[in-house]
Structure 1
Amino acid sequence: MVLELRQQLKLAQKLVMTPQLRQAIKLLQLNRMELTDALQAEIEQNPLLEEALDVEEKVQNPEALSAEEVKEVPESVVTEQVAGDNPATVAEINWEDYANNFDTADFSFARETPPADAPSQFDFISAKPGLEAHLQWQLTHLDLTEKDMEIAQFIIGSLNHHGFLEADIEDICRYAHCDEETAQGVLNLIQHLDPPGVAARDIRESLLLQLEYEDYEEDDLPCVIVRDHLNLLQTRNYSVLARKVGQPVRKVEAAVKVITRLTPYPGNEFANDQTNYVVPDVYVYKIDDEFVIQLNDEGLPHLQLSAEYQKLLAEKKALNAESRGYLREKKRNAEWFIKSIQQRQRTIYKVMESLLRFQRDFFEKGPGHLKPLILRDVAEDIGMHESTVSRVTSNKYAHTPQGIYELKYFFSTAVSTTNGDTVAAESIKNRIRQLIQNEDPAKPLSDNKISQLLAEEGIKVARRTVAKYRDQLKILPVKHRRKARTG
């Protein structure tokens, strides 16, 4: 066998993903908040791109305008804006007016005593103290030895975000080189700090610590139920629970009310988890009998090509060949970027318009009237590929007269009814939610009963399918929804 190099001509068709096409696809699947970051990043790295100021911004920021743009702003407005720039007309600023003098630590008779409800500078800290900081603050008020403080620091550092201790006594002894009695004593001290129930090993111990904090004795009924019959409490089987503890049902119900006021996870109230709010990408309003679609452009920078750099490109002798080539490339990229943004907005509008045509009953009457719909239906309706529709509907939300929904929500598989029609799976989920909301709390509906009720309405759904939909709706099983009758 002889190895040799050989040239060969071959004609073939293939799709080449240019950088511009990849950029357009990436922009298409970004949600609104991600798009804002992408626009800002592109403005920073491309000198030919700049944010266009509207008329109001031009008036408020005349120093940011070119000579030609200044002529477009009314002279009276500009004059009013800069009239106070004369040093003779500007009063001396007393910076003491802007200082935060709410703290009373440096109080002197030369100053007026601040009111008791005056805010402290600590009220303006963006992140609130977590559980660890709260416990550390309490330790500073205790008279502990150096060894006890070391053990206490280890215990606090071993708490998870629920406030439960993830170490045992042996771990504490091994770390601090102390005996079990000393470790247990410091642990008992930490367990009696605020919040009640902190540093427990599990929910049972946490609830018992909280009951102890409320002066309940070990033999009191709430403590007995938590200590010995927590599993029956979870299933709300009060009749069996009453027989186990040898008490009337009404006393068991009163004890359960005491227990349900407690906090199973004492550390959660100190969690610093941030809430991420949904910002709609598109709004759908109903005006008279017509629906109006409006894209959410609020906060998005309006892009334009830099007039100064375009002027440099127009002057043939102003730049050398290398600089001119660089600016031309950046100008092409900027034009393509602006075109991609415009194409993205038009595509979202078209998809929302198509969804409005297919799901008009939903926008009129609510989730119970959602129809079966797949990506191919919308793709064929607007003349685009299914993958494009999929990218447009991912992580994007619409504000509708029925509430805020992800665009993916409007696509639902079909379930056949007994009369030969089809109904969307999301409509069935909505009906299951309604049935559970209207059930008798003392006799909640089982999955099998819900399946029978749906069958009576012409919707044939198996019990396991009902259970699957219920889990997706984050609704507890029947044994956890049962509540005792009051009165």
Structure 2
Amino acid sequence: MKQSLQLKLGQQLTMTPQLQQAIRLLQLSTLDLQQEIQEALESNPMLEMTEGEDQSGSDGDSKDSGEANSEGANTTEATAAENTSDDNNTETASDSNDDWQDNIPDDLPVDTNWDDIYQGSGPSSSGSVGPERDDSYFDSQIDNSETLQEHLLWQLNLTPMSDQDRSIAMNIIDAVAPSGLLTSTIEEIYLGLIGQSSPSEAETTEADKEDALSADSETFEDGDTATEAETVVSSATDLDDEDSLSIEEVLAVQHRLQLFDPIGSCSEDLGQCLLVQLNQFPADTPALNSAKLVVREHLAQLGNRDYKQIMRRGRMKEPELKQAILLIQQLTPHPGELIGSSETTYIVPDVFVSKKDDRWSVELNPEIAPKIRINNSYANLVKRADSSDDNTFLRDNLQEARWFLKSLQSRNETLLKVASCIVDKQRGFLDHGPEAMKPLVLHDIAEDVGMHESTISRVTTQKYMHTPQGIFELKYFFSSHVSTDGGGECSSTAIRAIIKKLVAAEDPKKPLSDSKITNLLSDQGIQVARRTIAKYRESLGIAASNERKRLV
């Protein structure tokens, strides 16, 4: 093979570290970006915060540390001086309060800011009142991390009970799911307590369980308390051995646990949970017996909205069934959801959209990321001709800091450019709501801003826009289109909004079917298949027409 020289022309994209960093920052969410900035501040000494409060706080900390070092040899005298100055501080605080109230004018202009009138440090801003608390302190105070099992065990510790019953109760509580229902049957819990698993014994315990359940149901229907039901169950069976454990004892402990807060916990199924809650109503409650009958015998028909069969089998009329259903709707099918940790998730918008002088303006949220800059004191230490290790370390960190700031600026510019283009194309949505949403794809925005579709996809992922219609992810404004009779296009988001509006205005006794919704949209000039309507309806969380049927 003969060697030769050839000249070729070509283009290729080189992913430099700077470009990789810019792409990575572009696709980060607000929380991830704040964490990335914090890590950069901790690792790079050339970066610093630009907020005045942090700088003053750091200066104050350095002064306090210097004073602490100078007074460390004479702590006794410092403590005595602090104690003697308490009275003086109290008098000074009272004098400052009087001055603070006297400096406030009686009449303030309409457009006056509080900071323009009052610049002093009031009682709430002084450090002597109490330690400064950030938002995380209040979040920790309202955070409820108690689980359902912990809540039940707390009540169990306050309930007088024998050691054997307490052991049974702890085993039952261990089998409680977060919803409040048991993950195991009472028979399985009983067999686990006695350590038996033979088929003959299981059949015997099943018969005992049915007898105990029948006796308990009659007792609970008469409105007896859990203690009386336990006495009736225990008296129904004579035990030869006082130390032996029977399934009736397990059932009695379960009935006591079902009366714990929340009512109905530790139940085996939904019907038993609802019956326990119905037993807590007064005996003169309207339609109470009908509600118990529906829950006990016709719960499946109630779930299928088969009201005619319920009225026929239960021998009740429509007004009576309406009252029974209203009473059942007041119950809690999953009582465990009332207890447990519920962390509130807050969405911080990246972009604010507002209307000013009949024009929509777009601006970035200035609070989404800390403001950072290059520390001039450290940057001035870099020497050009010096090749020492220390100078090289400072020069490399200075270059990385400049790249990082440039990547942040590029991210903000790209986000603002894409958000402005989206607002320009979705003005109808901002003025009239989701029904006026226009079809939009990534390619349309990419052509207008002169970027690739992958870049637009990164910008619109996990980025949120605050509009007069609410807070939406930027991905929400992109949707496919459906052709209309007039030759135009209708957005799938607009079709979902129309379906939601039609379902909200329908007659509960005669809900709209998918075919009927298709005909209604066809009358408006929107041609959509019935299967597409079903798909959009399911995506909105709307049940089928037979499940939306209501009697009341």
Greater Cα offset, 305-314 or 168-177: 168-177
Higher Rg of the two aligned structures:
2
Q: Distance in 2 between matches of 1:125 and 1:290?
A: 41
Q: In the TM superposition, what is the alpha-carbon distance from 1:361 to its structure 2 partner?
A: 1.6
- Structure 2 residue 175 is the aligned partner of structure 1 residue 168: no
- Structure 2 residue 405 is the aligned partner of structure 1 residue 338: yes
Q: Structure 2 vs 1, CA of residues 188 and 331 (structure 1 numbering), >3 Å: closer, same or farther? A: same
Give the match's secondary structure for 1:300: coil
Of 300, 307, 313, which aligns to 1:231? 300
Give the match's secondary structure for 2:86: coil
8 A Cα contact 1:238 1:253, kept in partner: no
Greater Cα offset, 218-227 or 464-473: 218-227
Report Cα offsets for 1:235-268 as digits up to 9, x if no partner: 3333332112111111111111111100011010
Q: How does 1:331-370 map to 2 (within 5 A)?
A: 331-370=398-437
Q: In the TM superposition, what is the alpha-carbon distance from 1:480 to its structure 2 partner?
A: 2.5
8 A Cα contact 2:30 2:368, kept in partner: no
Letter in structure 2 aligned against 1:366: G
Partner of 1:27: 25
Greater Cα offset, 57-66 or 449-458: 57-66
Letter in structure 2 aligned against 1:368: E
Q: Distance in 2 between matches of 1:478 and 1:423?
A: 25
Of 152, 158, 161, which aligns to 2:169? 152
Partner of 1:251: 320
Letter in structure 2 aligned against 1:91: D
Q: Structure 2 vs 1, CA of residues 454 and 219 (structure 1 numbering), >3 Å: closer, same or farther? A: closer
Partner of 1:277: 346
8 A Cα contact 1:374 1:412, kept in partner: yes
Letter in structure 1 aligned against 2:18: Q
Of 26, 35, 38, which aligns to 2:36? 38
Q: In the TM superposition, what is the alpha-carbon distance from 1:16 to its structure 2 partner?
A: 4.2
Partner of 1:83: none
Letter in structure 1 aligned against 2:530: R
Give the match's secondary structure for 2:38: helix
Partner of 1:185: 252
Report Cα offsets for 1:418-471 as digits up to 9, x if no partner: 222110000000010111111122222111111110011011111221111111
Matched residue pairs, number?
433
8 A Cα contact 2:29 2:463, kept in partner: yes
Give the match's secondary structure for 2:335: coil
Q: Distance in 2 between matches of 1:263 and 1:125?
A: 24
Report Cα offsets for 1:339-393 as digits up to 9, x if no partner: 1111110001010111122212222222111111110110011000000000100
Q: Structure 2 vs 1, CA of residues 224 and 377 (structure 1 numbering), >3 Å: closer, same or farther? A: same
Partner of 1:304: 373
Q: Distance in 1 between matches of 2:83 and 2:44?
A: 42
Give the match's secondary structure for 2:377: helix
8 A Cα contact 2:288 2:324, kept in partner: no
Letter in structure 2 aligned against 1:328: R
Q: In the TM superposition, what is the alpha-carbon distance from 1:145 to its structure 2 partner?
A: 2.4
Give the match's secondary structure for 1:213: coil
Partner of 1:78: none
Partner of 2:3: none
Partner of 1:403: 470
Letter in structure 2 aligned against 1:27: L
Q: Distance in 1 between matches of 2:55 and 2:253?
A: 65
- Structure 2 residue 89 is the aligned partner of structure 1 residue 91: no
Letter in structure 1 aligned against 2:158: H
Q: Distance in 2 between matches of 1:219 and 1:411?
A: 51
Partner of 1:220: 289
Q: Distance in 2 between matches of 1:158 and 1:314?
A: 69
TM-score (norm 1): 0.81
8 A Cα contact 2:428 2:437, kept in partner: yes
Q: In the TM superposition, what is the alpha-carbon distance from 1:146 to its structure 2 partner?
A: 2.3
Give the match's secondary structure for 1:291: strand
Q: Structure 2 vs 1, CA of residues 244 and 339 (structure 1 numbering), >3 Å: closer, same or farther? A: same
Q: Distance in 2 between matches of 1:88 and 1:146?
A: 54
Q: Distance in 1 between matches of 2:264 and 2:404?
A: 56
8 A Cα contact 1:29 1:392, kept in partner: yes
Q: Structure 2 vs 1, CA of residues 385 and 53 (structure 1 numbering), >3 Å: closer, same or farther? A: same
Partner of 2:94: none
Give the match's secondary structure for 1:399: strand
Q: In the TM superposition, what is the alpha-carbon distance from 1:61 to its structure 2 partner?
A: 6.2
Q: Structure 2 vs 1, CA of residues 133 and 88 (structure 1 numbering), >3 Å: closer, same or farther? A: closer
Give the match's secondary structure for 2:382: helix
- Structure 2 residue 275 is the aligned partner of structure 1 residue 208: yes
Q: Distance in 2 between matches of 1:408 and 1:429?
A: 16
Q: Distance in 2 between matches of 1:467 and 1:267?
A: 33
Partner of 1:52: 50
Q: Distance in 1 between matches of 2:129 and 2:405?
A: 46
Q: In the TM superposition, what is the alpha-carbon distance from 1:197 to its structure 2 partner?
A: 1.0
Q: Structure 2 vs 1, CA of residues 184 and 87 (structure 1 numbering), >3 Å: closer, same or farther? A: closer
8 A Cα contact 2:179 2:336, kept in partner: yes
Letter in structure 2 aligned against 1:130: T
Report Cα offsets for 1:113-158 as digits up to 9, x if no partner: xxxxxxxxxx947435332222112112222222322221122122
Give the match's secondary structure for 1:312: coil
Report Cα offsets for 1:144-187 as digits up to 9, x if no partner: 22232222112212211111110223432344335433332322
8 A Cα contact 1:159 1:166, kept in partner: yes
Q: In the TM superposition, what is the alpha-carbon distance from 1:188 to its structure 2 partner?
A: 2.2
8 A Cα contact 2:262 2:338, kept in partner: no
- Structure 2 residue 531 is the aligned partner of structure 1 residue 464: yes
Q: Distance in 2 between matches of 1:159 and 1:270?
A: 13
8 A Cα contact 1:31 1:281, kept in partner: no
Q: Structure 2 vs 1, CA of residues 98 and 416 (structure 1 numbering), >3 Å: closer, same or farther? A: closer
Q: Distance in 2 between matches of 1:97 and 1:419?
A: 70
Greater Cα offset, 217-226 or 250-259: 217-226
Q: Structure 2 vs 1, CA of residues 267 and 88 (structure 1 numbering), >3 Å: closer, same or farther? A: closer
Q: Distance in 1 between matches of 2:83 and 2:259?
A: 65
Report Cα offsets for 1:42-89 as digits up to 9, x if no partner: 1111111111134x66567654899xxxxxxxxxxxxxxxxxxx9799
> Among the aligned pairs, what percent are the same residue?
38
